[in-house]
């Protein structure tokens, strides 16, 4: 008989809350949570294994739940646990997640996991010390939409399994090749793979539309508060900027990524 949880004091409920709130607990356990059909489907498609699936019968049927997980490997078949509406409200970060909260097993996401397609001209987004999960999530959505080859997060200040990041990316954190590493490791990987390294900065820069993106390119973005470190400024092949015609001198980093990503798309499409 399937287990049913009706008390918010249950130890399983406490575990889900800790996984959502504490990055240290996520690292210690090697687990993370995902809410919603779209995000869970993206996570499964990305090859992640679900350990436990919590579902609320007042919102979603058992058949719908099992259909969502039908493609999962039998060896990694999750445990399905029913929960009451009150337990679901306690577990879920938001109300519109369709009655599903799943616990997945995490894995290290390194540069070695990134496979570049031979037939494509790769465009890679590099982020230095990104701090806000919402910004990273928005960038991952852009990376997915624009077909970026990868997103490399250097010296990250937020972990890749932060529930706010997963939610903001709409599951893009699972559909886009993502690696977390040091700036030094990222530079060596990009340099050895023959990328031109471009830094987005205001000083000594050329307008972004004067840059040739029809060859392997990596654009490095710094934080909005402090910009890029000297490490990347000294190692860039070219520096680029987005012209600012208003009173303010800075776009949100996720907006800047979108502008440059689609310039790369435009150039690639126009050359075909």
Domain boundaries, given as residue ranges, for the chain: 4-105, 111-270
What is the architecture, at CATH level 2, of domain 4-105? 2-Layer Sandwich (3.30)
In this prediction, residue 74 carries a pLDDT of 57
In this prediction, residue 44 carries a pLDDT of 92
Nearest to 32 by CA among 171, 240, 226, 192: 171
pLDDT tens digits for range 159-204: 899 999 999 999 999 999 999 999 999 999 999 999 999 998 767 7
In this prediction, residue 1 carries a pLDDT of 47
The CATH number of domain 111-270 is 1.20.140.10: no
Residues near 34 by beta carbon (within 8 Å), at least 6 away in sequence: 40, 43, 101, 102, 104, 163, 166, 171
Average pLDDT over residues 212-216: 94
Average pLDDT over residues 111-120: 81
Residues near 256 by beta carbon (within 8 Å), at least 6 away in sequence: 200, 221, 242
User: Residue 74: how many CB atoms within 10 A of its CB?
Assistant: 5
Q: What is the mean pLDDT of the chain?
A: 89
Reply yes or no on whether the pLDDT at 93 is more than 90.
Answer: no
């Amino acid at each position: 008989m399937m287990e049913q949880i009706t008390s918010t004091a249950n130890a399983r409920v406490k575990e889900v809350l800790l996984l959502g709130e504490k990055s240290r607990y996520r690292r210690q356990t090697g687990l993370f949570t995902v809410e919603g059909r779209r995000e869970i489907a993206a996570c499964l498609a990305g090859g992640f294994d679900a350990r436990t699936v919590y579902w609320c019968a007042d919102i979603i049927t058992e058949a719908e739940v099992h259909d969502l997980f039908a493609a999962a490997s039998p060896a990694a078949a999750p445990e399905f646990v029913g929960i009451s509406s009150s337990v679901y409200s306690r577990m879920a970060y938001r109300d519109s997640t369709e009655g599903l909260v799943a616990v997945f097993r995490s894995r290290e996401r390194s540069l070695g996991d990134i496979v570049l397609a031979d037939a494509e001209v790769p465009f890679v987004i590099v982020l230095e010390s990104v701090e806000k999960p919402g910004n990273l999530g928005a960038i991952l959505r852009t990376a997915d939409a624009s077909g970026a080859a990868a997103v490399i997060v250097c010296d990250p200040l937020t972990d890749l399994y932060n529930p706010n990041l997963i939610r903001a990316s709409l599951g893009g954190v699972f559909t886009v090749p993502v690696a977390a590493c040091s700036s030094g490791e990222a530079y060596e990987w990009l340099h050895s793979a023959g990328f031109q390294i471009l830094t987005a900065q205001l000083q000594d820069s050329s307008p972004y539309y004067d840059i040739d993106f029809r060859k392997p390119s990596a654009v490095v973005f710094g934080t909005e508060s402090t910009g890029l470190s000297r490490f990347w400024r000294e190692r860039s092949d070219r520096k680029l900027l987005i012209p600012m015609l208003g009173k303010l001198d800075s776009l949100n980093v996720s907006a800047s990524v979108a502008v440059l990503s689609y310039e790369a798309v435009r150039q690639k499409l126009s050359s075909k």
